[in-house]
Each structure stands twice: as C-alpha cells, then as structure tokens.
Amino acid sequence: MTKTDLPKYVYADRGYVRFIRRSRGQSVMMKEEPGTPEFYEHYNRLLRGREPVSAKRNFEALILSYFESEAFKKLKPRTQADYRKYIEHIRRIWGTKDPAKIEPHHIYELHRANAEHWRQANYLVQVMVVLMNHARLIGFLKKEHGNPAKGIPLFKQESDGWEPWPDDVRAEFEAVASPRARLVYELCIGTGQRIGDILKARWGHFEGGCYDLTQGKTDKPMWIPLTNRLKAYLATVEKRGLAVVTDRAGRPANYRAVNDEMLAVRAKMQHPDKAKYVTHGLRKNATIELYLAGNDDELVKSVTGHSSVEMLKKYGGQIRQRELATRAQEARNRMEQNKPGT
C-alpha cells in the first residue's frame, strides 16, 4: 500500500493506517480496511473533527490509547513491531472485555494456552504487564487492583539459549553462502554483536580498525577492535553505499530480507541439524571464542556488550566454566610448586 492509494491525511503505519491532521492535533489509528464503507464512514467522521473518545472501557480502547502514548512511541521500531504482533493477539481474544475484569488466573490461562511456544508465551505475558500498567495510568484500573499480569510464573528456558554453530556447520555455510550472507556471518562472528547492530553498520563506523557503535537494544556505546580475520575479509568487500550490508541498489539492507537470505543458505546445506543453528547463535560463537582465548568475564563483556554475568553464562555455558576452572587449578598447582620443600 502506497500513499497514492490512500485519501488525504491517511498514512500507512506498520500494518495499519493512521489519520494524521497536524493542524487539528489529530493522530488516530484506523483499523478498518481502506476502501471499505466502514473505512470511509470513520474517515468522514475524522474530517469533521476529533475522534470521539470511547466511553467504553475495553481492550480496544486501551490498545488504541497505548499506541498513542509516549511510552510506545519511544520504543525502538523493531520492539514496536513485536509489541503490535502480540497486542493484536490480545485484541482478538479480549477486544471487547473490560480490563478491570481481567484477573491473574485469566492471564495464567492465556500463558498456558500458548505453552507449545514457550518464548512467545512469555513475551505475551510481558506485553500484558505493559498494557495493564497503561490501563492503570489512564484510569481503567484502580490502584488497589494492582497489575494482574505481574507475578505470572514464566516458562523456563529449556536450554542454554541459541546453539553455537559447530565447526562442520560453519565450514559448510562458508562454502555455500551468498556474498551478502557470508558478509553478515563474518560481521557477527568478528564483532559478537546482534544482527540488528550489524545491519546498522556504516563504513564510517569501521575507521581505524575498530567498530564504533551504540547498541540498539541497550543504547550502550561500544568500541570494538576488529579481529585480523574480519579486517582481512572486509578488505575484499565492495563498498556499494554508506552501509556495509546493502541491497542491490546500495541501500541499507532490511532485517527481513537478510534473515530470509540466511535461511535460504541454510536450506541448501546438507547438515542434518542445519535448522537449529540460527544467526543469533553466531553471537554465542564469538562469546565462546573470547573465553577460549583466556579472557575473563569483564573482558568478554567489553566486546559483546552483555549487561550481566548471568547473560554471559547463557552464552558461554560450559566453556566459560571449564576455562575458569582450568585457570583456578593452574593457580593451585603454581602455589604447590612454590611451597618450601616441593
């Protein structure tokens, strides 16, 4: 859908359309399908003045209010997209319900109903916490009611997170990868950063043999010297625009296109477990290599930008424990050797 397909004051807004008339201070989400009678009925009401505030206290009104809030507008675009997906699920099942009638057992049942996909089920609860907090702010919930989504026990992660890529998987991927997929792979391995930060990288960020960035998820400034391998690889890459990872026209590549390309490369591979190794697992590879090189937690965090040792445990896993235990025992051996009479 392009702007030319929409009437005056109506703009596409990440899967929805929005009526924006700045001279009147109007910015209203429109849920109707453009071109339908319902859409034009709503559109004509908006042309005549402000959208009437719904007297009903239901999730439809709550969701529209949240999308208009500063808290939502300040979120990163990727987070906004994630929230919209889960909020749409909530809207479908509880759209007409009064948020004040929702109790913890309702959210617990919603969580359990999605148990087959534990990560999504947990995210659904986390989005409910945000929505119900907004309900309190706009008076849909009384203070004494509290937030019914808080305290819902989340499903525990079934493993140590994303799987690092073993050597045979890496070797096959390198052999069959397209140029852009290989570039993303080398950047992930070499810098230890998330795919979102890799796609934001500009050639100007790599001056002086380092990667100078601010992490999108944490807003943490980072300065990371490049590995010799990554410097050598980047020297072979044609610069087609300001961005390092681009589309065919030299514009910054978008996440969906790159993710689809990485999936397509893995689909060509012969490894029987190829599906379990996702792009984010390469961040785990980088973390493990840093530990294998003898770095301690603080040194590893200085490269990967992990916010806590707990997160590093998920990424470093047994490798981290083995390296620390080896160093500890070596220290004991040195102490024994230095004792008098030994």
Q: Residue 108: which of 125, 123, 127 has the closest Cα? A: 125
Query: Measuring CA to CA, how many Å separate 62 from each of 45, 125, 269?
Result: 21, 16, 47
Dist CA 172 CA 204 (whole Å): 31
Per-residue pLDDT, averaged over 241-268, amounts to: 95
- Give the domains, in start order, of the chain with CATH numbers: 1-52 (no CATH), 55-158 (1.10.150.130), 167-329 (1.10.443.10)
Dist CA 289 CA 165 (whole Å): 12
Banded pLDDT at 307 (limits 50, 70, 90)? confident
| pLDDT above 60 for 54 | no
| pLDDT above 70 for 231 | yes
pLDDT in tens, 116-157: 888 899 999 999 999 999 999 988 988 777 899 999 999 886
Banded pLDDT at 265 (limits 50, 70, 90)? very high
Per-residue pLDDT, averaged over 284-296, amounts to: 90
Q: DSSP letters of 116-162? A: TSHHHHHHHHHHHHHHHHHHHHTTSS-GGG--TTTTPPPPPPSSSSS
231-241 burial code (b ≥16 CB/10 A, e <16): eebbeebeeee
**Predicted pLDDT at 2:** 54
Longest dimension (CA), the chain: 97
**Predicted pLDDT at 51:** 54
| pLDDT above 60 for 53 | no
Backbone angles phi, psi at 272, to 5 degrees: -65, -25
Rg (the chain; Cα; Å): 25
Q: What is the pTM of this model?
A: 0.63
Banded pLDDT at 50 (limits 50, 70, 90)? low
Question: 224: part of which helix (H) or strand (E)?
Answer: strand 221-225
% of the chain with per-residue pLDDT over 70: 94
pLDDT in tens, 14-43: 777 888 887 766 778 888 888 887 888 888
